[in-house]
Amino acid sequence: MPKRSPRPAVTAALPPAPPVAGRPRALLRSGALAALTVLALTACTATPRPAARTREAPTRPPVTTRHALHRLVDDGAPGAASLTNRAGYPDARYATAGVADLRSGRTMRPRDHFRAGSLTKTLVATVVLQLVAEGRLSLHDSAAAHLPPGVPAVRDGDRSELRRVTIRQLLDHTSGLFNYTQDPRLSRQLFGKGFGAHRYDSHTPAELLRIALSHPPVSPPGAHYAYSNTNYLVLGLVIEAVTTHPYATEIRRRILGPARLTHTSFPGTDPVLPEPHGRAYSRAGGRRVDATSLDPSRAGAAGEMVTTLGDLNRFFAALLGGRLLPPRQMAQIHNEKGTGGAYGLGLYATRLPCGVTVWGHNGDINGSYVRTAGTADGRHIVSYRLNTDTLAHPAHGTAVLTAEFCASRRRP
Catalytic residues: 118
DSSP state at residue 233: H
Closest CA to 109 of 387, 405, 304, 390: 387
CB 158 within 8 Å of CB 339: no
Q: In terms of DSSP H, where are the helices of 157-224?
A: 160-164, 167-171, 184-190, 195-198, 205-213
Rounded Cα–Cα distance for residues 371 and 399 (Å): 12
Report the SS3 class of residue 381.
strand
Closest CA to 76 of 388, 402, 403: 388
H-helix or E-strand spanning residue 349: strand 348-351
> Is the bond preceding 15 in cis, omega lying within 30 degrees of 0?
yes
Q: Provide the CA 367 distance to its chain's centre, in angstroms.
A: 15
> Is the bond preceding 276 in cis, omega lying within 30 degrees of 0?
yes
Instruction: Tell me the longest C-alpha to C-alpha distance in the chain.
Output: 109
β-partners of residue 81 are 96, 385
CB neighbour list of residue 287: distance below 8 Å, 6 or more residues apart: none
Report the SS3 class of residue 9.
strand
State how far the alpha carbon of 177 is from the alpha carbons of 164, 204, 224, 333, 383, in Å.
Answer: 11, 18, 11, 21, 30
DSSP state at residue 213: H
β-partners of residue 104 are none
CB 97 within 8 Å of CB 300: no
